[in-house]
Amino acid sequence: MSHPDPGYRPEQGPRPPWGAQPPWGAPQPGTQPQWGAQPQPGNQPPWGAPHPGPQPQWGAQPQPGNQPPWGAPHPGPQPQWGAQPQPGNQPPWGAPQPGPQPQWGAQPQWGAPQHPGQPWGTQIDPRWPAGGPPPYGQPRYVAPPKPGIVPLRPLFFGEIMDGAFQTVRRNAKTMFGSALIVQAITGALSGVAALGMLGMAQPPVGGFTSQAQANSYLGPLFSTVAAFMGVSLLAMALASILQGIMAIPVARSALNRPTGFKQMWSLARSRLWPLAGFAFLLIAGSLLLFGVVFLLAAMILAGLGPAGVLLLFPLVLGIAAVVVWIYTKLLVAPAAITVEELGVFAGLRRSWTLTHRNWWRIFGIMLLVSVMVSFIGQIIQIPLGLASGGINSVFAPHAGASQVTTTEIVLAVVSMVVGVLVSAVGFAFQTSVAALLYMDLRMRRDGLDLELLRLLETGEDPDGVPGRRRMRQAGAQPWPPNTAQGSPQG
């Protein structure tokens, strides 16, 4: 039983005789459509009929020479970069892309990266680390300028310390010279008071036998204590006045404006009386506090006897804590009186306001600075103390009383000179730190950094004190226009 030919269909006409069919794979007669073109309807060969045209033998490879080389550009016009090609001109799927192709193993040359919001081919902004506008439309961060000793923004602890060192270094004659004068005056007075103790008589072993003998000992003792107390109060008053005056070179150094010795005192001439009034209030308050503590101690000891010491000790600690708290609250009053040209009580209120919510920060910075200055001063003074005992024992082991006294006086003078030099450097540094704290507080509350930036851009009042209110009172436009745009309070 014969099987019908699966390739024969009755609609194709009578079946040709056996052997008349073309070989398998031979093309059918007629024209063939172009590659990729759609054949006209009605000209399609029947389903299953072989495709017309020469076909390669099974397993044979196409003849070489008919394929374009690898990487050759596609023939025909190419669209511009970024433009969409016209429909119908796209190369077939899998064909190589037009344009020169990199050699095998070579790195392709890439152009500048495309950034959001930046047209292709525009120059990259070098100020932005990513080489273009920030992503997602966020504003670009620009570091605040630093024309002088500190950047024009709220300051950190390290910037305050560095700014204080730079202020003393850039204005060495002004800062160190002024501090040296004050420290020399107080040091000389302290030396005179210390010399008065050398000739003081020793108390008798068995006690005083008469009123005259007691007066001969207690009189010089009370005089020496009063002298030391007076010198301490005078040193405190001079230090408060000089602290306000030395705020001028610190404020000018923020804009890289050097200040001479004569120029500093000329700018501070109108503020000497308010600073003297502040120093007088400081002395009066100290004396009043000392008197109150003395009366309380006398009343407690008289009423409770020796047991009153147990009550007196915590009371003294509490009073000391209150004194430290008030001192920290009024720390920047001299700078406010000088820079902002305020009166005595207005300067006190200004300092009280500026230090609000910043007490612990100011106290910690000043405590650390005081410990540093005292530690360095003690390191320098220790060799002198050791040398004084060595000189007496080595060079004059059998010296008389007068020679020993002379040697002690000479060593005391040398130690005093060295102490004055060290104290002058330490005082200049501490004053610079206090002035920078004042500027930092004003940057945080009043937007002083914006005012300094305006002065930096306009160059206004190059010989004045930055931050003074005289320029605004003279008719200058307020800066910033909205006072609420200052730095956030901290």
**107 or 180, greater pLDDT:** 180
Query: So where are the chain's domains?
Result: 157-199+216-284+369-485
Three-class SS of residue 118? coil
DSSP assignment of 401-468 equals HHHHHHHHHHHHHHHHHHHHHHHHHHHHHHHHHHHHHHHHHHHHHH-HHHHHHHHHHH---TTS-TT-
Round to whole Å and give the CA distance between 467 and 255. 11
pLDDT value at 65 more than 90 = no
DSSP 156: P
DSSP string, 38-100: PPPTT-PPPTTPPPSS--PPTTPPPPTTSSPPTTPPPSS--PPTTSPPPTT-PPPTTPPPSS-
465 falls in which pLDDT band (50, 70, 90)?
very high
Give the pLDDT confidence of 241-255 residue by residue, as tens digits: 999 999 999 999 999
* Segment 370-420, tens digit of pLDDT: 999 999 988 888 887 776 666 666 666 666 667 767 777 777 778 888 888
End-to-end Cα separation, the chain, in angstroms: 107
User: Rounded distance, CA 250 to CA 167, Å?
Assistant: 6
Q: State the Cα–Cα distance between residues 20 and 215, nearest whole angstrom.
A: 158
Answer with the residue of higher pLDDT: 219 or 439.
Answer: 439
Among residues 409, 408, 418, the alpha carbon closest in space to that of 380 is found at: 418
Q: Answer whether 147's CB lies under 8 Å from 251's CB.
A: no
Q: Is the pLDDT reported for residue 425 higher than 90?
A: yes
- Residue 148, pLDDT > 50, answer yes
pLDDT one-digit tens code per residue, 336-351: 999 999 999 999 999 9
In this predicted structure, the answer to whether residue 480 has a pLDDT above a threshold of 50 is no
128-137, 208-217, 254-263, 422-431: segment of lowest average pLDDT = 128-137
pLDDT of residue 345: 95
CA–CA distances in Å: residue 348 to residues 150, 331, 334: 26, 9, 8
**Which residue from 11, 16, 24, 34 is spatially nearest to 92, judged by alpha carbons?**
34
